């Protein structure tokens, strides 16, 4: 008998805590943050950010965007950077990648201080990824 798990990654954004939270017990090892805005030439206004867990410690099920764990390496243009902050008044697509599973993506919008004030997924109730819409 062959048993297969159909659980897939599923994240949401807690606006009050400014955290990315995983709903299906997949530790967050890889998160991609892409600014959806483009300039007048059609290019993204900032490069995508990749947060990659880099520790033998067990990865968490949430990431605080106001206090990213030092165990995450932050990449921009394939180079490690010290930190990043969401830009003011824009939207971002946040995607969780888990090896062997489909990617799960959500969208968030920032206010004039760079804090998220709105999210496409603000609880575990919405299980449809933006990739599937």
- Averages of pLDDT over runs of 10 residues in the chain (133 residues) are 61 97 94 91 89 96 95 96 94 89 91 97 86 60
The CA-to-CA distance between both ends of the chain, in Å, stands at 34
Q: Report the pLDDT value the prediction gives residue 6, as an integer from 0 to 100.
A: 60
Helix (H) or strand (E) holding 76: strand 72-76
List the domain boundaries for the chain. Answer: 11-124
pLDDT at 102: 80
The pLDDT assigned to 133 comes to 52
Distance CA 93, CA 47 (A): 12
pLDDT of residue 130: 79
């Amino acid at each position: 008998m062959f048993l297969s798990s159909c659980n897939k990654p599923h994240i949401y954004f807690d606006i009050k805590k400014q955290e990315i939270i995983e709903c299906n017990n997949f530790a967050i090892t890889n998160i991609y943050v892409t600014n959806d805005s483009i300039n007048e030439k059609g290019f993204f206004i900032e490069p995508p950010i990749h947060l990659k867990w880099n520790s033998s410690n067990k990865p968490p099920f949430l990431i605080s965007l106001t206090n990213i764990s030092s165990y995450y390496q932050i990449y921009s243009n394939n180079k490690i950077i010290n930190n990043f902050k969401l830009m003011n008044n824009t939207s971002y697509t946040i995607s969780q990648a888990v090896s062997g599973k489909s990617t799960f993506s959500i969208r968030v919008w920032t206010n004039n201080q760079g804090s998220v004030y709105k999210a496409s997924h603000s609880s575990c109730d919405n299980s449809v990824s933006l990739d599937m819409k």
